[in-house]
Amino acid sequence: MAIFGCNCKDKCVCLSVVSSIIIGIVVTFLRLTAVITVTPAFLFVVFGVAVAYLAITLLASVLARRERVSVCVCGLLPALLTGILGTILLSVVLLAIEFAATSIIGAIVTGGLAFFFWLTITATACLVKYFARCHD
């Protein structure tokens, strides 16, 4: 994927981004119609998961400095880090500012949180796939 900085041939990152967009739109619509709500407990869990993912990604990138591993994940790390940092940022925003149940801005921010969190999860699945395929 040239959009993430290299010419990887696999479509896993592209499918990850597309599925994240779909999930974000669905969650935005459900939050706007007040079908779902976002509790502070959920936001703390999402924040904690994102921080743990950030620490694990940092540790894994330091430990995996071999050339064949870094070639496999060259297009994946920007997507993974975008998902992690977006999740952390939007969970802090939702924890700091309380939105009404049918607020349009609250629904958009919640949909963005769902987008970034799902991007983190699916990019991690792609990372596991890449490590399983590239590791001899």
Domain count, the chain: 1
Task: Answer whether residue 136 shows pLDDT above 50.
Answer: no
Domain range for 61 is: 12-134
- What is the torsional sign of CA 15, 32, 103, 42? negative
Check residue 67 and give its pLDDT: 53
In a domain, 7, yes or no: no
Task: Answer whether residue 134 shows pLDDT above 80.
Answer: no
pLDDT in tens, 1-45: 444 445 555 688 889 999 999 999 999 999 988 888 888 899 999
The tokens for 30 are: 């459900």
Average pLDDT for the chain: 83
Of residues 70 and 48, which shows the higher confidence score? 48
Task: Answer whether residue 71 shows pLDDT above 80.
Answer: no
In a domain, 5, yes or no: no
pLDDT in tens, 26-38: 999 999 888 888 8
In a domain, 1, yes or no: no
